[in-house]
Structure 1
Amino acid sequence: MAIKVGDRLPEATFKIMTADGPGEKTTKELFDGKTVVLFAVPGAFTPTCHMNHLPGFVEHADTIKAKGVDTIAVVAVNDLFVMDAWAKASNANGKVEFLSDTDASFVKALDLGLDAPIFGHTRAQRFALIAKDGEVTFLAVEESPGEATATGAAAILEAL
């Protein structure tokens, strides 16, 4: 059963790029004692993700954070080098954290994996959530991976 409002996020470890090279960040480090907006995309640089979904969060990062959000993060089932390149290409560094769920273990634990033959392996469904101290207080999942309305920055701003 998919995660829902009121549930705690599962333990997971993401791959991230640090100033010193590849690193890791746990869900405990990301969520404990914080208010976090986390959105997921089927893939870095894919059309809807790159041109529609991510740009709203980059553009409205300050407004979202002004509403009490400590961190805005995006997760995808891509390797950390792709996620790092996407962060740089999107001018999102310092606004959005880029998390690599390399083996899809996090999205599978949420029961929000997407099996689409075009990708060749499990990816994340397009979703967005707000978590306070690791508990989900808002969750939206798009009906179609090509849509980014219910999970976009405007929807998150309304939910906050």
Structure 2
Amino acid sequence: MLENREGQKVPQVVFNTRVDNEWVQLTTDDLFKGKNVILFALPGAFTPTCSSTHLPRYNELAPVFKSQGIDDIICLSVNDPFVMDAWAGDQNAENITMLPDGNGDFSRGMGMLVNKADLGFGDRSWRYSMLVRDGVVEKMFIEPDVPGDPFEVSDADTMLNYLAPDAAAPKRVTLIGKPGCSHCTRAKNALKAQGMKFEEITVGSHGISLATLNAISGRGTTPQIFIEGEHIGGADELEAWLSQQA
């Protein structure tokens, strides 16, 4: 039975972490005392849902959370610190504190340690998120106790809606470009000038080809920009779209 610990203190444990290639022990108080913290826990680093959605969206919304008084956003998994550090680098998760719960002590204390031996994972954390103020759990979003790996309520947008329902989330921007493209550089500079972060996809990498670009956008030239799923077009169209938002 998964345990909701709203109104209770988080477990007192010691985390073995790595900082600048040195072992550093962090206590629960180091992480939570006197702070407003969002923690989201997931089954494993480099796993599909965790890598494609759960972690990236918290990283993307971190500036919005911090504008609402959140001091830190922690991603916890029952993995060792080397794996968590490698995953953070792979994800460019510069806004997230990666917390390895290697022995599962924190997850066990939260009532969230589950056995995934059927997948060869052993003991792992159930997927959940929580808002912790000065070491006390204010709110938990626990995924339903059903088979598999549900992902319905522990996402960043649900947490933001609880914390600040009127807060505006940044628009999701994707730019598809290629090396040496001057128009791509112009488009990126235009987005940066507006303070808009963007995902960059490079033609020729990870199986993305000009044929793929044409299939997605109906065009074979770069860049092609999408904002909130809407195809804006190239650099000229982007600049026109940005001028309309001013």
Identify the TM-score tier after normalising by the shorter chain: over 0.9
**Residue 114 (structure 1) shift:** 1.6
1:13 is matched with 14
User: Which has the higher mean CA deviation after the structures are superposed, 14-23 or 57-66?
Assistant: 14-23
Q: 2:4 & 2:27 partners in 1: Cα distance? A: 18
1:151 is matched with 154
**Residue 116 (structure 1) shift:** 1.1
Q: Which has the larger radius of gyration?
A: 2
1:33 is matched with 34
1:104 is matched with 104
**CA deviations over 1:134-154 (Å, ceiling 9, x no partner):** 000010111255333311110
Question: Between Structure 1 and Structure 2, how many residues are aligned?
Answer: 159
User: Which has the higher mean CA deviation after the structures are superposed, 50-59 or 9-18?
Assistant: 9-18
Structure 1 outlier segments of 4+, above 4 Å: none
**Residue 3 (structure 1) shift:** 4.2
Contact 1:35–1:132 (CA<8 Å) still a contact in 2? yes
Q: 1:70 & 1:113 partners in 2: Cα distance? A: 26
2:192 is matched with none
Q: Provide the TM-score with structure 2 as the length reference.
A: 0.62
Q: 1:120 & 1:104 partners in 2: Cα distance? A: 12
Q: Read off the aligned partner of 2:72 and give its amino acid letter.
A: T
Q: Identity of counterpart residues, as a percentage?
A: 35
Q: 2:87 & 2:121 partners in 1: Cα distance? A: 20
SS state of the match for residue 150, structure 2?
Answer: coil
Q: Read off the aligned partner of 1:5 and give its amino acid letter.
A: E
Establish whether residue 91 from structure 1 lines up as the match of residue 92 from structure 2: yes
Gap runs ≥5 in structure 2: 164-246
Contact 1:114–1:124 (CA<8 Å) still a contact in 2? yes
Report which structure shows greater RCO (CA 8 Å, sep ≥6): 1
**Residue 158 (structure 1) shift:** 1.0
SS state of the match for residue 50, structure 1?
Answer: helix
Which structure has the highest helix share of the two? 2
* 1:110 to 1:18, Cα distance in 2 relative to 1, 3 A: same
User: Which has the higher mean CA deviation after the structures are superposed, 123-132 or 139-148?
Assistant: 139-148
2:65 is matched with 64
Q: Provide the TM-score with structure 1 as the length reference.
A: 0.94
2:128 is matched with 127
**Residue 52 (structure 1) shift:** 1.3
2:115 is matched with 115
**Residue 88 (structure 1) shift:** 0.6
**Residue 90 (structure 1) shift:** 0.7
